[in-house]
Amino acid sequence: MMDFLWNLTSFVIALGILVTVHEYGHFWVARKNGVKVERFSVGFGKPLWRKRGKDGTEYILAMIPLGGYVKMLDERVDEVQPEDKGKTFNAKTVYQRIAIVAAGPLANFIFALIALYIMFLIGVPSVKPMIGDIVPSTIAAEANLPKDSEIISIAGKRTRDWQDVNLALIGQIGNKEITISTKKTDSQYISSVTLDTSDWQFSPDEMSALTSLGITPYRPKVHNELAAVAEGSPAELAGLLVGDKLIAVNDVLTDSWEAFAKEIKQYPNKDVAITTMRNGEILKLIVIPSRIEQAGKAIGYIGVAPRVDAWPKSLLIELSYGPIDSFKESAQRTWDLTSLTFSMIGKLITGDVSVKNLSGPIGIAQGAGNSASHGFVYFLGFLALISINLGIINLLPLPVLDGGHLLYYLIELFTGREVSEKAQEAGFKIGALALLMLMAIGLFNDFSRVLS
């Protein structure tokens, strides 16, 4: 329940910020071009808060936080006083209308640039992308990708951390081969191998790009020994102590922390016999794991953590830059994310990426919650990513979106006359249907992931 509330709160905050930014872009440029703005609303439905500003605009915070709008005076839908005829949207030139409509998506790109700039200025703690192991009989194994080596670049794109690696790999979906360059920690020699990805089976909702290729990232060793026991937890109530070595769960041997955790998860609210070794003595303790929800499933939880070796200092990095370099990095990351998003849209159209990979509001809410739980700089990165996606989606040539309006104005620009109201109305219906279908697919995928 707490995870749900955290994700929901993070989602509402993120969407509220991004919708405000987008609509403010329309609002600011409309006002600069002399258009009277009657209402600026963040959210839809019943107003929770409203105020009329000195500028005559009504500002609203509404109940349903799934969008927003800026209502501009328009003779085609409003009764307009003679003195306000020059302040209507429809009275402006086609160039002014294009600027007003394009300002929303543009504001999203500018916001992403600023968010990433602040993120790089503060600094992002990360680790170098060191390969820990290669799974036999996988694409990476067939290409002889060396383990215990750092990934330097993928398809020519530098990779400083695992986020860079994942973004680069996702961008290669649909390609027949991927070139990966690596180097050993104690060497400056860079080797490159080419992975044959003609039969690459990658489903983001089931596994990561790395897992699908057979690449296991380096992780410090996790010992099958308790390093922490939460106060008041089922483990403490059963008598488990820090330093206990875990041997078995219900007489099933658990020779690793992963095996132990897997067994515990199977027994929410059920008696479990845990065999441990303490000071050379074998003990068997009865624990009743609490029931918690994880990815829509009920699992057992006892409130313990394992002893984990420290990360090697040579692998720890911080992506932090000065004022000028932070701008360069944020501009490059904005460009990379924009290019990747356009590429994914193209691959959805060609079928290289399945519509099963689309996410709806539930998936976005989970992403918001996860990033926020890791800290402010990670939440900034998430906001930048979603802001870019929001900007690009709004530029799609669907009449119900900004891109559809821009399409009509471009036609008007070249033909010298407005698109007929009948054609616009038909286009809006088609666009609304297409958008509803995409939203339905995203929601269906969200529910399928939660219930699977």
294 and 331 in a single domain? The answer is: no
pLDDT of residue 366: 63
Rounded Cα–Cα distance for residues 157 and 151 (Å): 11
113 and 128 in a single domain? The answer is: no
Rounded Cα–Cα distance for residues 313 and 283 (Å): 37
pLDDT of residue 424: 73
**What average pLDDT does this structure show over 201-216?**
80
pLDDT of 202 strictly over 80: no
Find the range with the poorest average confidence among 3-17, 111-125, 331-345, 433-447.
433-447
- Domain contains 76: no
Q: How many domains does the chain have?
A: 3
pLDDT of residue 447: 52
Contacts of 146 (CB under 8 A, 6+ apart): 131, 134, 182, 184, 191, 193
Active site residue: 23, 150, 263, 329, which one?
23
pLDDT of 396 strictly over 90: no
- Domain contains 8: no
For tokens 């409203």, name the residue. Answer: 50
Out of 251, 277, 308, a domain closes at 308
**What average pLDDT does this structure show over 231-254?**
92
- Domain contains 74: no
Q: What is the DSSP string of 255-303?
A: -SHHHHHHHHHT-TTS-EEEEEEETTEEEEEEE-PEEEEETTEEEEE--
pLDDT of residue 416: 80
Rounded Cα–Cα distance for residues 172 and 445 (Å): 23
pLDDT of 226 strictly over 70: yes
pLDDT of 360 strictly over 60: no
pLDDT of residue 335: 92
pLDDT of residue 194: 92
Rounded Cα–Cα distance for residues 107 and 370 (Å): 25
383 and 406 in a single domain? The answer is: yes
Q: Which domain holds residue 404?
A: 92-123+321-452
- Domain contains 27: no
**What average pLDDT does this structure show over 45-68?**
87
342 and 369 in a single domain? The answer is: yes
Rounded Cα–Cα distance for residues 397 and 405 (Å): 8
83 is catalytic: no
> pTM of the full predicted structure?
0.79
273 and 392 in a single domain? The answer is: no
pLDDT of residue 4: 66
pLDDT of residue 414: 86
Rounded Cα–Cα distance for residues 128 and 185 (Å): 11
264 and 386 in a single domain? The answer is: no
- pLDDT tens digits, one per residue of 30-50: 999 999 999 999 988 888 899
346 and 408 in a single domain? The answer is: yes
196 and 96 in a single domain? The answer is: no
119 and 144 in a single domain? The answer is: no
Rounded Cα–Cα distance for residues 113 and 223 (Å): 42
- pLDDT tens digits, one per residue of 276-324: 999 999 999 999 999 887 766 788 899 999 999 999 998 999 989 999 9
pLDDT of residue 357: 60
User: Model confidence at 369, in pLDDT bands (50, 70, 90)?
Assistant: low
**What average pLDDT does this structure show over 232-247?**
93
145 and 196 in a single domain? The answer is: yes
- pLDDT tens digits, one per residue of 398-411: 877 888 889 888 88
User: Model confidence at 236, in pLDDT bands (50, 70, 90)?
Assistant: very high
pLDDT of residue 265: 92
Q: Which of the two residues, 184 and 345, has the higher pLDDT score?
A: 184
User: Model confidence at 329, in pLDDT bands (50, 70, 90)?
Assistant: very high
Task: For the chain, give the mean pLDDT.
Answer: 85
pLDDT of 431 strictly over 60: yes
pLDDT of 367 strictly over 70: no
